Chain A
Amino acid sequence: MSAAWFVLRRLGRDRSALIGLALIAVLVLSAVLAPLLATHPDDVFELHPSERLRAPSATHWLGTDRMGADVYSRLLFGARITILIGLIAVGASLAIGVPIGLVAGYHHGWASDGLMRVSDIFLAVPQVVLAIAIAQTLGPSLPNVILALSVTYWPWFARVVYAETRALQKEVFVESTTALGASPWRLTVLHVLPNIASPIIVRASIGMGFTILTAAALGFLGLGPPPPTPEWGRTIAESREFLPDAWWYAAAPGLAIFLTVMGFNLLGDGLRDVLDPRLRRSPSRDA
């Protein structure tokens, strides 16, 4: 509790972390309160052909799209998909990557080398390429996007956890815990894991931004959830044939992606400064 309070207080003094937190708060509020905040909450599924491609106005704050739906309202419901994809994909990557990293970091031998080699294979190709291949193979849908992102992102966590676990093995407290007769299970879960939580949290925050960006690229290429889902990347792809006239149609979802990813990146940077002094962005003033 007191540790959490300490982190929060330090974060409060970091301007970029505050901006990041504010952006994420706006995102979460938009997603949760979408039915209340939306000016045209039914436009996700309804068509209004007579209203199509209207410029931003008092009734349609961000204009309308090719179906005559309110862009602002669809954007709010799109935030739900974005959060869903980010949370589940990063959560699944954590669930796969952290245990693998812990086991491979604790045990020395060919099995550990093998596990790390497997994660190297995934890291050897740009994530978006593998994710595109998997998403296309499985077919465009929300669960498949999440699956493709999880399968390609876990090696990042495995790498971080592996390196940190290996580094901790020389520490006195690990040696003494082992000497006291703690089982490997108890040692890694109760003693090693809490000590390497900081880099995992930082990686998870940056991973949220990264995953959301890749998910948008998949949606843009037509590999995301099918229409009429108001997914941001797909909306940008749909808007292209109506450029340059319907500029709001393309600009609004891209801006939403940008602010969301920026929020998680800024928070990640702030967390890194607070939690992991070794990785400071710049030397502190009194250094």
Chain B
Amino acid sequence: MRLMALAVRRLLWFVPTLVGLLVVTFVISRVVPADPVALVAGETATPAQVAALRHELGYDRSLPVQFVDYLVRLARGDMGVSLFTRRPIVDDLAHRLPATIELTVVAMIVSVALGIPLGVLSALWRNSLLDHVLRVVTVSGLAIASFWLGIMLQLLFAMRLGWTPLNGRLAGYPPRDLTGFYLLDAVLTWDWSTFGAALQHLALPAATLAFPALATLVRFTRAGVLDVMQSNFVLYERAMGLPPPLIVWKYILRSALTSTVTQVGLLFGILLAGAVVTEAVFDWPGIGTYAVSSILRSDYNAVMGFTVWAGAIFIVVNLLVDLAHTLVDPRERQT
């Protein structure tokens, strides 16, 4: 019951936060020195043509009217039309979404699969060589500029060694479009050479994206495990003579992961923000590349579409994390 109440309360906050976000992006995109209509119309357009286009795009109405109109359309799932591609932004985003999700999910899997065990080992063997090496890795992961890391990986693995492609998602024809995720489509159509090629293309951007997330996870897991190791119930389990691996990998880890679950929201933020720049470096045809090129072309509708999408996902993920936290940790439910 309390869980329901919490969920409802958080959902009620969702709407004002999203509207606030829309106000911010709207102000940013309309209080501009450059005239988007003139840009779209081109240099050869006559003033009459520009005026006609302005009317067609609805830019000649007052700002509040434009904003309300935008909200009403958005509620109907209409994000407007890209000023450049002239396609609905919802379609553009949907078309590019699988590429970003594929990249982000692979990066997430890599960082979780490596980060949690390494964090546990680092805590168990505190001040060992492994712990020191991992500390260097975590400190580096949070200090490195991801676009530079991407370029250095390209330099080494793609240009010098030739082990991986330089950029892009796939060189040849994509697999038959079933889900939009190349890896999954390749498996479903039993096309293993495409699967391998897609994986090769994924390797560098995924590694670039995963590194800071991995660093964060190792850090938090290590701190969490160290914290739990000091607690009385671990002392009790030791005294009871439970086998150490059981204590570590079952009881300590489960307890320590409660705090790591909370970090998933943070992790997602890191990955989402990282995807924008990482995709730009690797010409990855996802949402991030779309956002950067839209921004550079002053395609305000598309920029707002992206910001709304990113903000909404971010808020929803944080809501889910809150709920998961309440589910996992019984203490949260009683307060």
Which residues from A are CB-within-8-Å of B13? 117
A283 x B226 contact (CB < 8 A): yes
What does the 1/0 interface line of B26-39 toward A look like (CB < 8 Å)?
A: 00110111000000
Q: A137 contacts the other chain (Cβ, under 8 Å)?
A: yes
A262 x B148 contact (CB < 8 A): no
- The prevalent SS among residues of A at the interface is helix
Q: B160 contacts the other chain (Cβ, under 8 Å)?
A: yes
Pick from A117, A130, A138, A217: contact of B16, CB below 8 A: A117
B102 to chain A, nearest CB (A): 19
Q: Which chain B residue lies CB-closest to A236?
A: B148
Q: B65 contacts the other chain (Cβ, under 8 Å)?
A: no
Which residues from B are CB-within-8-Å of A44? none
Which residues from B are CB-within-8-Å of A3? none
Assess A257 versus B148: contact at CB under 8 Å? Given A117-B17, A250-B155. yes
Given A133-B307, A236-B151, A250-B152, 11 extra CB contacts under 8 A: A121-B24, A125-B310, A126-B269, A132-B295, A137-B31, A216-B148, A217-B146, A217-B277, A261-B143, A261-B144, A282-B222
A129 x B310 contact (CB < 8 A): yes
What does the 1/0 interface line of B138-151 toward A look like (CB < 8 Å)?
A: 01101111111101
Q: Which chain B residue lies CB-closest to A280?
A: B223
Which residues from A are CB-within-8-Å of B280? 221
B32 x A262 contact (CB < 8 A): no
Stretch at the interface among A4-12, A186-194, A240-248: A240-248
CB<8 Å pairs between A and B, sample of 7? A124-B17, A126-B310, A126-B314, A213-B143, A217-B146, A233-B147, A254-B145
Docked pose: A237 CA to B108 CA in angstroms: 27
Using a CB-CB cutoff of 8 Å, which residues 230-287 of chain A contact chain B?
A: 233, 236, 240, 243-244, 247, 250-251, 253-254, 257-259, 261-262, 265-266, 281-283, 287
Pick from B32, B155, B230, B303: contact of A287, CB below 8 A: B230
Which residues from A are CB-within-8-Å of B110? none
Q: A134 contacts the other chain (Cβ, under 8 Å)?
A: yes
A151 to chain B, nearest CB (A): 9
Chain A residues packing against B (C-beta within 8 Å): 16, 117-118, 120-122, 124-130, 132-134, 136-139, 209, 213, 216-217, 220-222, 233, 236, 240, 243-244, 247, 250-251, 253-254, 257-259, 261-262, 265-266, 281-283, 287
Docked pose: A282 CA to B227 CA in angstroms: 8
B273 x A126 contact (CB < 8 A): yes
Which residues from B are CB-within-8-Å of A287? 230
Which residues from A are CB-within-8-Å of B292? 132, 221
Docked pose: A283 CA to B20 CA in angstroms: 41
